[in-house]
Amino acid sequence: MATHTTKTCPVTGDPLGDWPVTAAEDVRAAVERARAAQPAWNDLGLERRLERLDRLSTALRDRLDDFAERISRDTGKPPVEALATELLSVPLFLDHYRRTAPDVLARKPVPNPIPLPGKRAWAGWFPMGVIGIISPWNFPFQLSIIPAISALIGGNTVVLKPSEVTPLTTEVLQELVDAAALPDHVFQIIPGDGSTGAALVEANIDKIFFTGSLATGRKVMRAAAERPIPVELELGGKDAFIVCEDAPLRRAARGAVWGGLLNAGQMCISVERILVVDAVYDRFVSMLEDEVSQVRVGPPDESPDMGAMTFPPQLDTVDRHVKDAVERGARLLAGGRRLRDRGLFYAPTLVADVTPEMAIWREETFGPVLPVIRVRDEAEAIARANDHEFGLTASVWTRDQERGLRIAESLHCGQVMINDVVLGVGNPALPFGGVKGSGIGRYHGPEGLTSFMHRRAIMADRGLLSADPTWYPYAGKYEALRAIIEAFIDRSPLPLFKAGTDAIRSRLGG
Q: Is the pLDDT of residue 502 over 80?
A: no
Is residue 509 very low, low, confident or very high in pLDDT (cuts 50, 70, 90)? very low
Does residue 399 share a domain with residue 263?
yes
Q: Are residues 259 and 357 in the same domain?
A: yes
pLDDT (tens digit per residue) in 440-468: 999 999 999 999 999 999 999 999 888 88
Contacts of 271 (CB under 8 A, 6+ apart): 239, 241, 255, 256, 259, 260, 370, 395, 421
Q: 268 catalytic, yes or no?
A: yes
CA atoms of 317 and 8, how far apart (whole Å):
19
What sign for the dihedral angle of Cα 281, 286, 289, 295?
A: negative
| Residue 431 contacts residue 443 (beta carbons within 8 Å) | yes
Examine residue 65 and state whether it is found in any structural domain, yes or no. Answer: yes
Average pLDDT, the chain: 95
Query: Before 228, cis peptide (omega within 30)?
Result: yes
- β-pairing verdict for 271-277 and 239-243: parallel
Residue 181 resides in a domain: yes
Q: Is the pLDDT of residue 127 over 90?
A: yes
The reply to whether 278 falls in a domain is yes
Give me the pLDDT at residue 491, please. 79
| pLDDT for position 353 | 98
Residue 18 scores a pLDDT above 50: yes
Q: What is the pLDDT of residues 312-329, one digit of tens each?
A: 999 999 999 999 999 999
Task: Tell me, yes or no, whether 250 and 357 share the same domain.
Answer: yes
Say if 440 falls within a structural domain.
no
- Are 221 and 349 in a shared domain? no
Looking at the structure, do residues 205 and 330 belong to the same domain, yes or no? no
Residue range(s) defining the domain that contains residue 482: 475-510
Q: How large a percentage of the chain has pLDDT more than 70?
A: 96
- CATH, residue 293: 3.40.309.10
pLDDT band at 486 (very low <50, low <70, confident <90, very high): confident
pLDDT of residue 480: 85
Number of residues assigned to the chain: 510
pLDDT at 487 over 60: yes
Asked whether the predicted pLDDT for residue 490 surpasses 60, the reply is yes
Domain presence at residue 8? no
pLDDT 10s digits, 179-199:
999 999 999 999 999 999 999
Q: Does residue 231 sit in the same domain as residue 262?
A: no
Q: Residue 459: CB partners within 8 Å, gap ≥ 6?
A: 112, 119, 120, 121, 122
Is 198 contained in some domain? yes
CA-to-CA separations, 399 to 410, 411, 421, in angstroms, rounded: 18, 18, 15
51 is an active site residue: no
Structure confidence by residue, pLDDT tens digits, 139-165 = 999 999 999 999 999 999 999 999 999
Residues 249 and 212 in one domain: no
Position 501 scores a pLDDT of 52
Q: Which residue has the higher pLDDT, 351 or 510?
A: 351
The percentage of the chain sitting over the pLDDT mark of 90, rounded to a whole number, equals 89
pLDDT of residue 1: 65
| Range with the poorest average pLDDT among 131-145, 160-174, 220-234, 468-482 | 468-482
What pLDDT is recorded for position 495? 46
| Same structural domain, 208 and 313 | no
Alpha helices for 294-397 (secondary structure H): 312-327, 359-362, 378-386
Question: Are 451 and 422 members of one domain?
Answer: no
Q: What confidence score (pLDDT) does residue 508 get? A: 45
**Domain count along the chain:** 3
Residues 289, 207 share a domain: no
Catalytically annotated residue among 81, 86, 164, 234? 234
Minimal CA–CA distance to 444: which of 135, 42, 151, 218?
151
Out of 9, 202, 232, 268, the active site residue is 268
On whether the CB atoms of residues 120 and 93 are closer than 8 A, the answer is no
Q: What is the CA radius of gyration of the chain?
A: 27
Q: Which long-range contacts (CB under 8 A, 24 or more apart) does 192-198 make?
A: 192/5, 192/20, 192/21, 192/22, 192/27, 192/161, 192/164, 193/2, 193/5, 193/21, 193/164, 195/1, 195/2, 195/21, 195/24, 196/21, 196/22, 196/23, 196/24, 196/27, 196/161, 197/134, 197/161, 198/223
Q: What is the CATH number of the domain that holds 59?
A: 3.40.605.10
510: pLDDT strictly greater than 70: no
Instruction: Look at 155-169, 177-191, 302-316, 488-502 and tell me which has the smallest mean pLDDT.
Output: 488-502
Are 409 and 502 found together in one domain?
A: no
Q: Would the pLDDT of 48 be above 80? A: yes
Mark whether 390 and 285 lie in a shared domain: yes
